[in-house]
Structure 1
Amino acid sequence: MGFTMGLNLLLLVAMVATNILSLYHLSSNIQSKPPVAPPVPDHLLHQLQTIRATINHLTRLQPPAPPSAKAKKSTVTIPSDLLLYTHLSPIASSCKDNPDLLHQYMSYTPFSLCPSDSSVAESLILRGCHPLPRRRCFSRTPSSIPTSLPKTPFSTIPEKALLWNNYSCKSFSCLSQSNPNLGFDMKVEQSRFLDFKSDLDLPIPQFLQLTKTSKSVIRLALDIGGGTGTFAAQMKLHNVTVVTTTMNLGAPYSETVALRGLVPLHVPLQQRLPVFDGVLDLVRCGHAVNRWIPVTMMEFLLFDVDRVLRAGGYLWLDHFFSKRADLEKVFQPLIWKLNYKKVKWAVANKNDASGVKNGEVYLTALLQKPISR
């Protein structure tokens, strides 16, 4: 009995001693000075200040909390739309699938000139990473400004108004010599869309006559994959406003469209058309719309065209090429899903080397959206 009491007393003393030691250790740590943190680099401090300023700005735009019974009602009402538009847009979800390209694109010095890497930007855009998240660098500009700009869309384009760093050719003459069909020779472009050489052609005068006969008015149009904007240029002479979608794949297409006094949209084929529903009289699909587009994407494009066309508007497929079997089994049924009126439907063999090898054909179709469904 005495041994058990002695053992319990010993355990009690040990527990008290342990608590006293722990309390002493804790108090000594509290009294000791914390280690000095390493200095924060200036550029990180600047970025933190920018983030803090943005958060403070957005916080001030938040709607006021509901007033309590004792508080006075606020006389300031902030529109809900204002709060919505102050939200920072997130990176497109597909950007995470291309980390190497995104890292290459985002490797730049803040508040300096942006790198000359438009090819990297277009690689991201074509993969669905758009709009791009680059924010704090300044766009590059040409070293000299031209004294005058073209007065008509077929005038000579000043080459000094462009940045040529990202292209193998450094002039319009070089581009025209490499391929006359690229659209940079204004003497050649001046006669395009005006001649009738085969059933596949639909000259602009004939198209306008067809629309006049059906009592349709053509004022606003979209040219998908319009290159240097020659279709828009020709339609401008008939007082029709055409916006051109294009990409700078190997040549300055967007800049050329703009220098011609036209409007370029730098968007890929897989992007939703940046136009409201039912507002366009015409959508033309040029050579960029062809059999290389995946069928799912082609279906998306056609139904997005239907979305932006007004009742009675026109879809113009200009020299769409595909294998004959694919046209009959895949693309033709896909186009007919729209249930549009066929104004013109012409199919002919594609007689170049690639067309003969792959058994390809051209399709030119002019289709009119129903007035009622």
Structure 2
Amino acid sequence: MSKFFSLKSFLGSESLYSNLNPEAPNGNQQEVMMVTVQIVIQKIEEQLDKLRETKEDPSSSPVVFQQCAFLADILGLLESVVASHYSLKNGSFTIHPLRRKKKQSDEPADYFLREEIRKYVRIKPNRLGKQNFMGANASFTSIGHACFAMKKELEEYMDYDVGDICNDDWKLAQKLMVHGCDPLPRRRCFSRAPKLYNQPLPINESLWKLPDDRNVRWSQYRCKNFACLAGNTTRKGFFKCADCFNLTNHEMPRWVSLEADSNHTADFLISDVLGIKPGEIRLGLDFSVGTGTFAARMREFNVTIVSATINFGAPFSEMIALRGLVPLYLTINQRLPFFDNTLDLIHTTRFLDGWIDFVLLEFILYDWDRVLRPGGLLWIDSFFCLKEDLYDYLQVFKMLRYKQHKWMVVPKLDKDDQEMFFSAVLEKPPRPFRKRRHMKKPRRHQISNGVISRTRARFKISPEPELRSPNLVKRNTI
């Protein structure tokens, strides 16, 4: 029934023009063309009527469904042409009310064919007709605005039987999320699980031991087990985190010993950063691409870290959960699901780099500032960009006006000094609840045609960041 009603919107439509076929005045060529268009409209409607009368569910056959959708689109275009023609025509001819162009519906559900999407986005009034405990008399569900541009992919995602097992389509869902169709609609089907799920390892073992391969669905990955990802012989994982599954040699030394970390993946130790605010850092967010090693290390310091990541070429979310840590399946497009001034620390590495647009970076940083409490720490760990863009990126970070505890710039030698690493530990300052009237807003970077003009802001610029000598530090490609 759900699939049948998904075709109801155009299988049950009546023609606006089948009985309104005026004679072409004086053999006018445009009128003759309009008569021809109306004949085509009539034939399309006849074909749709035949499909409506068939006993077979049209949506059960992909060919029939595509034919219905195609005919409906063509019908709409032709009717728009006829309506536009008669609305622009001058003279004594009176436009019939049924010929007038209908206003486009403001109801989002009318845009989609799949009945599950239509049901999801419609407003659901409360059964008692009164306001609920949240102060609303109905429930309002939403989808990302980009879902309308990705109509085909979204309807494929919502094509399922209610109460059945969902398709193994998490990769399609992630594609929608990455391209802005987020939040996704909920679905009324059961998610797929691994065929033989084994009991997870105890917490004292899971942090630094590869999980059981049977606890992951490997159908969408090139590697089919954790040993393949840890060996990294075929470079099948995400290139920015190609060694993240090598827990012993690559991950274990990170953030606890700069000398033992032969890959130079960090500039500061956890102990040094926590020493800035002794006893104050209890809860934080790691917005990175990784397997949860930062959260695992912070756990040893009695700090709870939520790891935000998505599955780029490898089961990062599953790996973090199987290690006994908290994965947050989140894209860079989303507003953080935390309330204002609640986190003690935000850490990021290997993800927020020089590929990102300056305006998008500002939106992200302001959102991070929103969830950081006054006195909270922002740890930018190994941000890298082109040398020529370094100044502009540093100015964006300085825009926050945070107190600088640690600040370092390191040349990336494997790129012939054309790229730079930047690391910093910054503290969010307390701010007044209201702005003073005599305070003037600082001048921001003026962005024009994608170029940032380096105008001086009216606030104190900190001293130039420390620049390490290339002979002292060597940084590999991440």
Q: Is the 8 A contact 1:313 1:369 kept in 2?
A: yes
**In structure 1, distance between residues paired with 2:319 and 2:128:** 41
**Partner residue in 2 for 1:360:** 419
State which structure, 1 or 2, has the greater radius of gyration over its C-alpha atoms: 1
Provide the residue aligned with 1:297 in structure 2: 360
The farther-off stretch of 333-342 and 175-184 is: 175-184
CA distance in structure 2 between the aligned counterparts of 1:154 and 1:60, rounded to whole angstroms: 51
From 201, 210, 213, give the equivalent of 2:276.
Answer: 210
Q: More helix by proportion, 1 or 2?
A: 1
CA–CA distance in structure 2, aligned partners of residues 268 and 305 of structure 1: 14
SS at match of 2:139: coil
Over the residues paired in the alignment, what is the CA RMSD in angstroms? Answer: 3.0
SS of 2:408's equivalent in the other structure is strand
Determine if contact 2:295/2:305 at 8 Å carries over to the other structure.
yes
Structure 1 residues 282 and 181 mapped into 2: Cα distance closer, same or farther (>3 Å)?
A: same
Q: Which moved more, 1:311-320 or 1:88-97?
A: 88-97
Partner Cα distance (2:147, 2:258) in 1: 45
Aligned residues of 1:182 and 1:227 also touching (Cα < 8 A): no
| 2:216 corresponds to which of 162, 169, 172 | 162
Residue of 336, 344, 347 corresponding to 2:409? 347
- In structure 2, the residue matched to 1:11 is none
Q: Does 1:122 align with 2:184?
A: no
- State whether residues 350 and 361 of structure 1, in contact with CA within 8 Å, keep that contact through their aligned partners in structure 2: yes
* Partner Cα distance (2:149, 2:57) in 1: 32
* Pair 43,310 (structure 1): closer, same or farther in 2 beyond 3 Å: farther
Number of residue pairs the alignment of both structures matches: 312
1:307-358 CA distance string (max 9 Å, x none)? 0111111000000001122111x21111111000111110011123xx338x
Residue equivalent to 1:96? 148
Tell me, in whole angstroms, the C-alpha distance in 1 between the residues paired with 2:283 and 2:115.
Answer: 47
Please say if residues 199 and 346 of structure 1, whose CA atoms lie closer than 8 Å, have aligned partners that are also in contact. Answer: no
Tell me, in whole angstroms, the C-alpha distance in 1 between the residues paired with 2:410 and 2:221: 35
Question: What is the alpha-carbon distance in structure 1 between the residues aligned to residue 115 and residue 154 of structure 2?
Answer: 22
Q: Provide the identity percentage.
A: 37
The alpha carbon displacement at 1:211 in A equals 2.4
Specify which of 246, 251, 256 is matched with residue 319 of structure 2.
256
Work out whether 1:335 is the aligned partner of 2:397.
Answer: yes
CA distance in 1, matches of 2:372, 2:424: 16
Match of 1:147 in 2: 199
Contact 1:150/1:157 (CA < 8 Å) preserved in 2?
Answer: no
Partner of 1:108: 160
CA distance in 2, matches of 1:122, 1:341: 37
Which stretches of structure 1, 4 residues or more, deviate above 3 A after TM superposition?
37-44, 54-59, 107-110, 179-182, 197-200
What amino acid maps onto 1:115 in structure 2?
A: N
Deviation at 1:133, TM superposition (A): 2.2
1:187 is aligned to 2:251? no
Contact 1:225-1:287 at 8 Å conserved across structures:
yes
Amino acid at match of 1:186: L
- Whether the 8 Å CA contact 1:150–1:259 is kept in 2: the answer is no
Q: 2:231–2:246: 8 Å Cα contact kept in structure 1?
A: no
1:1-373 to 2 correspondences below 5 Å: 38=53, 58-63=125-130, 78-81=131-134, 83=136, 87-152=139-204, 153-178=207-232, 179=235, 181-188=242-249, 189-197=251-259, 201-212=267-278, 217-328=280-391, 330-352=392-414, 355-356=415-416, 359-372=418-431
Structure 2 unaligned spans of 5+? 1-51, 60-113, 236-240, 433-478
Assess, with a 3 A threshold, how the Cα gap between structure 1 residues 43 and 81 changes in structure 2: closer, same or farther: farther
**Partner SS, residue 171 of structure 2:** helix
Question: What is the alpha-carbon distance in structure 1 between the residues aligned to residue 146 and residue 227 of structure 2?
Answer: 38
The verdict on how the C-alpha distance between 1:56 and 1:133 changes in structure 2, with shifts beyond 3 A counting, is closer
How far 1:138 moved relative to its partner? 1.4
Cα distance in 1 for residues equivalent to 2:252 and 2:115 = 55
Distance 1:236 1:294 in 2: 33
Q: Which position in structure 2 is the counterpart of 1:14?
A: none
CA gap of 1:40–1:339, structure 2 versus 1, over 3 A, is farther
Inter-partner Cα distance in structure 1 for 2:318 and 2:200: 15
Work out whether residues 157 and 259 of structure 1, in 8 Å CA contact, stay in contact via their aligned partners in 2: yes
Distance 1:100 1:42 in 2: 20
Instruction: Tell me by how many angstroms 1:136 deviates.
Output: 2.3
- The answer on whether the counterparts of 1:200 and 1:346 sit within 8 Å (CA) in structure 2 is no
**Corresponding letter in the other structure for 1:278:** N
Contact in 2 for aligned 1:196/1:203 (Cα 8 Å): yes
Quote the offset at 1:236 in angstroms: 0.6
Give the deviation of 1:186 after TM superposition: 2.4
Following the alignment from structure 1 to structure 2, what is the Cα–Cα distance between the partners of residues 56 and 319? 46
Select between 263-272 and 133-142 the one with higher mean Cα deviation: 133-142
Tell me: CA distance 1:120–1:56, structure 2 relative to 1, closer, same or farther (3 Å): closer
- Partner of residue 70, structure 1: none
Conservation of the 8 A alpha-carbon contact between 1:125 and 1:268: yes
**Partner Cα separation in structure 1 for residue 422 and residue 128 of structure 2:** 54
Cα deviations by residue, 1:252-288 (Å, 9 ceiling, x for unpaired): 0001111111111111112111111001110001110
TM-score, length basis structure 1: 0.76
Larger mean Cα displacement after TM superposition, 139-148 or 315-324: 139-148
Give the counterpart letter for 2:272 in structure 1.
Q
SS in 2 for 1:114: coil
3-state SS of paired residue (2:148): helix
Distance 2:183 2:265 in 1: 40
Q: Alpha-carbon deviation of 1:100?
A: 3.1
